[in-house]
Every structure is written in C-alpha cells, then in structure tokens.
Amino acid sequence: MNIILLGPPGAGKGTQAKFLVEEHGLTQLSTGDMLREAKDSGTEMGNRVAEVMARGDLVTDDIVIGLIREKLKDGGRGFIFDGFPRTLPQADALEDLLKEEGRKVDHVIELRVDDDALVDRISNRSTCAKCGEVYNDSTKPIPEDGKCAKCGGTEFKRRADDNEESLRKRLMEYYKQTSPLIGYYHVKGQHEVVDGLADIETVKAQVNAKLT
C-alpha cells in the first residue's frame, strides 16, 4: 500500500504519517528527512545533495527521485510520501518510478484545513528541542510539569517563521504549487479528503477509514 499525504504546512501530515507507520508497517518517505539523511551518508548521491545545499540551491527533481528510488529498492510493505510530489512533473515522475518497481499509488489523502484556523494553530506551536515532539498552546499544551511527555526534555522552541506573515506566504506558495495535483489525482479517482482541523484521533480515524 502506497499513500500520498497532501496538505499545507502544519496540517498534521507528519503526525498522521507516524500513525500509519506504527499501525500499518509502512515506511515514511519525507523529502526533508531524506535530504538530511543523504547529506550525511557519504554516498555518491549524498555528496551531490551536500554540494547543492552548500551552494544554497534548490534540490532538483532528479536528485529527489534518485533518493526515492534508493528507498523503494529497500522493499517493505508500502510507503507514505510526505512532502512529495508537489508539482505535476514530480507526480508523473513518481508514477513512472513506482511502475519500475511494480508498485502504484493506492491512496492520495488530502488533510484539508481552513487557512485562518491553520495560522492560529501553527503560530501557537512549540517543539521539544530534544525529540521533536510537537505541542500546541490550544490543542496539546506542554505538560504542567514543563517536561516533554515523550522524552522528559525541558527545552522547547518555536520556529522563527511560525508567524502570520510567513505562514500566509507559505500557504500561498503551497496552493499555487499543489492545487493542480489535487485535480490530477481527482481525475484518476485517487483523491480523498479528511478534515485536517479535527482533533488528532479523529483525523487518524478518518484516514484509516479511507484505507479500508
């Protein structure tokens, strides 16, 4: 089973991907994680990534596709694509790559959110500096004892760009890039929508219902 998660920054794709990994034994392929891992790997592909990032250039599609190809060859029950594809050429390239491996996209799930509510959610977001667990002042506050529930860490940070102006800019860029993708997968009968602003467990239940 191969799943693409769509949704703007802060919609909760990473959280839902973790649940899918735990419950269905899938492998999460996050573009950001793959690039960081490759940069530190010392492989030929990793060195290419390191060079591009050192120059401050955008990583090209062929590099990302190359990294995904390496991961697919590792096998596994299936994959969750988080943060990829973002454009129609990337969607075409992913489809071709999956065909090479005898696989296909089974589900495309969009975590749909209201922009104003999303801005409010993200601007109240904190992350444990030790393990990366995400907290929110409104929906999932830091425990009263000031310790991370996951690792016991006591330091929390907020992203510098988690402010309204930056967030609205990122949302505009997301919709500009990704709107055509929604039509692309809708025509194929693969596009499904869940309410990304519901509480975490409700979103999880909605996602699982789409997989049955």
Binding-site residue positions for Zn(2+): 128, 131, 148, 151
Respond yes or no: is residue 103 known to be catalytic.
no
β-pair partners for 28: 80
Respond yes or no: is residue 86 known to be catalytic.
yes
Which listed residue (86, 103, 112, 168) is catalytic?
Answer: 86
Respond yes or no: is residue 170 known to be catalytic.
yes
Respond yes or no: is residue 158 known to be catalytic.
no
Query: Residue 112: CA atoms inside 13 Å, Cβ hemisphere, count?
Result: 10
CA distance 155 to 138: 19
Q: Cα-Cα-Cα-Cα dihedral of 1, 118, 166, 38, to 10°?
A: -20
CA distance 108 to 67: 21
Respond yes or no: is residue 168 known to be catalytic.
no
Which listed residue (18, 71, 112, 170) is catalytic?
Answer: 170
Which listed residue (112, 125, 140, 168) is catalytic?
Answer: 125
- Going by the annotation, the residues of the binding site for ATP are 10-15, 125, 134-135, 198
Q: What is the CA radius of gyration of the chain?
A: 18
The SS3 of residue 168 is helix
- Going by the annotation, the residues of the binding site are 10-15, 31, 36, 57-59, 83-86, 90, 125, 128, 131, 134-135, 148, 151, 159, 170, 198
Which of the residues are catalytic? 13, 86, 125, 159, 170
